[in-house]
Structure 1
Amino acid sequence: MVSVLFPQYLHLVLLGFVHPMAEKRDPMSTPVVSVLVPVYNVERYLEECLESLVAQTFQDFEAIIINDGSTDGSRAIIQAFLDRDSRFRAIDKSNSGYGASMNRGLDEARGTYVSILESDDVMVPEGLQVLVDAACVTDAQVVKGDFEYYWSSPERHERAAIVESDWPEGVHNARELTQLFALPASIWSGLYLRDFLRKERIRFLETPGASYQDTSFAYKVWACAERVAFVDHVIIRYRQDNENSSVKSPEKVFCVCDEHDEVTRFLDEDPGRFEDVRGAVAYAKFLNYLWNYDRLAPEVRGEYRNRIADELHRDWVEGRIDFSCFAPWAQADFLELTKSPDDYDARRSANFQGKGAAAILSRYLRVGGPRLLGKALRERFSEGF
C-alpha cells in the first residue's frame, strides 16, 4: 500500500501552527470545511461529540447538524450549541434514515471541503487542521487519516492503523491502489473536496435506518478519486460502547447487500472508466459479506447466507469475479459458499485453523481443483513454505 504522509508538516500542528485559512471569518462567508453531523436519538454521547468540534484548532468551519427526527433530548443539546457558536446550524427533518440525512447535509454544505463526524464519535482537537493542511499541500480531492477504536467506560483506545508510517509519500490515483477497497469504510476520518463529490455525483443510498450506508459512499470515492493523500495521524475516536442493532436486527441484515447493489449500479453507469477496479471491488464485496456473516446472530445467519450465495454466484456467472484478486483461502470459501451454502458452515475455513498445511492444501484441491491448489502452492513458496 502506498500513500501520502506529512511528518515534516504535521509537526507544525503539534507546535501550535494555525493555517492561514483557519482565521475566523464572517459567519455568512464561505467556510473552508463543512462538517456534517447526522443525529438520531444519541443524547448520551452528543454533547461530547459537539464539544470536540468546538475544541478544534482549525477554526474556519461550519458544523451542519442534521437532526433526523430525534425523540430524545438530542434537539435540546443541539440548541445549546446553536446558541453559543454561530458556526453551528441545524437541519430538522422527519425521520428518514442516515442516507437521506447525509444527502441533505451535502446539499446544504457551503465549504470548500466536506468532513463527517458521527454523533457518538469524537474528533481529536487537531483533526481538521491535519486534514486541511494535507489538502492544501497536495491539492488532493480526498485526504484520508487514521482512527482509533474508543471505549469510554472503562476508557480504552486502540489504533486501527489503516495508515502506516512507512508508506512512501506521493499523491496517487485511487484506482491504482485497489487495496483501498478492502479498507474499513471509515468515511468520517477523511476530508473530501466538495466540488469533487458534486461533479462525480457521489451521494448516499437513501435506505431506512442507519446501517452500512457508508459502504457505497466509500467505494464511489475510491472509484473516482484521482488525487488521494493519506496522513499518518488519528483523526477520529470511533466509539465502541454504542454498538447495537445492525448485528441482531433482522430488518437490517440485508442493508449491506443494498449498498453493494448501489455500487454495482454506479460502476455500470460508466463501465469503461471503472473496468480496472471491478475485480478489486468484487473481492472487497466478498470480504465484506463474510465479515458481516460472522457478526450476525444465528437466527438470521441462514437467510443471509443463502441470499449472498445466490448473489455471488450471479456475479460469477456474469463475469464480475476475477479470482486473480482473491487469496487462495478466499477463493476456496467463495466456491464452497456458492456451490453449497447449506454445507458452508461446516466447511468454513475457520475449521482448518490449527491444522497442518497438508490438510489446507487438500481442501483447496477438493474445492477448486488443480488450478486453485497450484495458486496456493505458489503463494506459500513465495512467502516461504
Structure 2
Amino acid sequence: MGVVQSDDRSSPRVSLLVPVYNVERYLRECLESARTQTLEEIEIICVNDGSTDGSRAILEEFAAADSRFRVIDKENSGYGASMNRGLEVARGEFVGILESDDFLDPDALEMLYRSARDTDAEVAKADFYLHWSQPEPRDERFGWVGPEMAGMVDPRDCLEVFFLKPSIWSALYRRSFLEQNGIRFLETPGASYQDSAFNFKVWACARQAVLVDRAFLHYRQDNESSSVNAPGKVFCVCDEYEEMLRYVEEREFDAGFFLPVLAKMRYDSYLWNFDRLTPALREEFAQRMAEDFRREDEAGVVDFSLFEPWKIPERQAVIDDPSAFCRRRASGGRDSKLTILARCWRAGGPSLVAHVLKSRLSRR
C-alpha cells in the first residue's frame, strides 16, 4: 500500500475521491473530467483497489502530469474500504465522490462549492444525468432535484431526501461535518449498497443542506455491474440497514422519528434488490424480507403514511407468503381488489383500508 504524488500540503477547497477497480475502459474520461474542473484548488484522490487491468498505469499517467492527483494503492477489499481510505487522507474543506466510470461537467465542483459556501451548508446536493454511450451518447436528467425542492432544507423537514436514490456522488460534503459525526462507509466486500448507510447518516445528521436545481454528473448506465448472479451479495443491502440501526442507537437519535423512516427506506431498497436477483436467488431473499418486515411490525415502527398506498399490500404480501410473492412477481400477475384490501386490513385494520381506498379514488 502506498501513496503517489503531491507534496503540496496546502489545503484544497475540495478533495475528490475516485475509487478505482478494473475500469480501464472508462477511466480516462473520468479522470480528464476531474482534471479540467474550473475549480482548480482541488486534490483528486484515486484509490486503486487492487486493479488487475490497465487502470493502475492510467492513474500513474495522470499523477505524473498533474500534481493534484494522488494515487493510493491497496489490496482488493471493496468499495467501502476504499472510500474510508480516501476520507482518511482527504485535506479539502469539502469532499466529493466521482465513480471511475462516470464523469463531470467542467463547472461541477465550482458550482457545488460556491453553493455550499454561499449558504454555509454542510451538504450541497445536485441532480445528475443518466448517461448512455451506445448506440449514440445520450443523457437523461434523473430529476432528483427540481424547482420545487431547490434551496436550503433541513432533512428532518424534507423527508423525501431519505427516500430518493442515494446518488452520493452528486454532492459535496463539508469534511468537518463528516468527521464530527463519524460518517464513514461500512466495509463489506465488493461494491454493493455501501452508499446506502453513508447516505442515511448524512441526511440524519445534516441540518443545513442546499439542493441545487442543476445536473453536473453523468451516471453511466452502460456499465451497470449487477450483483444478481452473486449469492454472496444477496444480503449486502440487509447489512447496510443493520448499520443504519446501529448508528441511530449509538448516536441516541430520536427513534420515534428515524425508525419509521428506515422502515420505508428498507422496503424500497429490499424490493429493488429483489427485482435485480436471478430467480434462483429470489426465494431466499424473499424469506429474509418477510422476516425483517415482521420484525418491524412487531416493534411498532412502521408508519404507513410514509408509504405510497400501492406499496402497503405488496409489503403485506411478502409477509403473508414469500414463496407466493415470488411466483406472482415472476409471472407479472395481479391480485384482485378484494385480496389487496384484505392485505391492507391485516397490515393496519380499517383505518388503513380507508386510507388506501381514499388514495385510489383521488387518483382517478
Q: Which TM bucket (shorter chain)?
A: over 0.9
Aligned-partner Cα distance in 2 for 1:96–1:50: 22
CA distances 1:207-235 after superposition (whole Å, capped 9, x unpaired): 00011111110011111100010111112
Q: In structure 2, which of residues 170, 174, 181 is the aligned counterpart of residue 193 of structure 1?
A: 174
| SS of alignment partner, residue 351 of structure 1 | coil
Aligned residue type for 2:359: E
In the alignment, structure 1 residue 368 sits paired with structure 2 residue 344: yes
How much has 1:187 moved relative to structure 2? 0.2
Aligned residue type for 2:357: L
For the aligned residue pairs, the C-alpha RMSD in angstroms reads 1.8
**Match of residue 10 from structure 2:** 29
In the alignment, structure 1 residue 378 sits paired with structure 2 residue 355: no
Over 3 Å counting, the alpha-carbon distance change for 1:315 and 1:166 in structure 2 is closer
User: Runs of 5+ in structure 1 lacking a partner?
Assistant: 1-25, 354-358
How much has 1:89 moved relative to structure 2? 0.6
In the alignment, structure 1 residue 96 sits paired with structure 2 residue 77: yes
Aligned-partner Cα distance in 2 for 1:342–1:161: 35
Aligned-partner Cα distance in 2 for 1:235–1:289: 29
Aligned residue type for 1:73: G
Aligned residue type for 1:158: E
Identity over aligned pairs, percent: 48
CA distances 1:68-121 after superposition (whole Å, capped 9, x unpaired): 111111110000011000100111111111101100100000000000000111
**Match of residue 3 from structure 2:** none
Aligned-partner Cα distance in 2 for 1:124–1:275: 41
Aligned-partner Cα distance in 1 for 2:125–2:111: 10
User: Runs of 5+ in structure 2 lacking a partner?
Assistant: 1-6
**Match of residue 351 from structure 1:** 333
- TM-score of the pair, normalised by structure 1: 0.87
How much has 1:345 moved relative to structure 2? 2.9
In the alignment, structure 1 residue 164 sits paired with structure 2 residue 146: yes
How much has 1:193 moved relative to structure 2? 0.4
How much has 1:253 moved relative to structure 2? 1.4
What are the residue-to-residue correspondences of 1:323-338 with 2, within 5 Å?
323-338=304-319
What are the residue-to-residue correspondences of 1:118-157 with 2, within 5 Å?
118-154=99-135, 155-157=137-139
Aligned-partner Cα distance in 1 for 2:183–2:11: 22
How much has 1:352 moved relative to structure 2? 3.3
| SS of alignment partner, residue 363 of structure 1 | helix
How much has 1:332 moved relative to structure 2? 0.9
Aligned-partner Cα distance in 2 for 1:95–1:203: 18
| SS of alignment partner, residue 266 of structure 1 | helix
Aligned-partner Cα distance in 1 for 2:38–2:195: 27
- TM-score of the pair, normalised by structure 2: 0.92
What are the residue-to-residue correspondences of 1:289-300 with 2, within 5 Å?
289-300=270-281
Aligned-partner Cα distance in 2 for 1:163–1:131: 13
Range 102-111 or range 281-290, more displaced:
281-290
**Match of residue 95 from structure 2:** 114
Q: How many residues align?
A: 352
**Match of residue 16 from structure 1:** none
CA contact (8 A) 2:226 2:276 kept: no
How much has 1:181 moved relative to structure 2? 1.2
How much has 1:274 moved relative to structure 2? 4.9
How much has 1:384 moved relative to structure 2? 5.0
**Match of residue 285 from structure 1:** 266
Range 337-346 or range 128-137, more displaced:
337-346
In the alignment, structure 1 residue 231 sits paired with structure 2 residue 212: yes
Aligned residue type for 2:284: E
CA contact (8 A) 1:364 1:373 kept: no
CA contact (8 A) 1:175 1:277 kept: no
| SS of alignment partner, residue 294 of structure 1 | helix
CA contact (8 A) 1:147 1:237 kept: yes
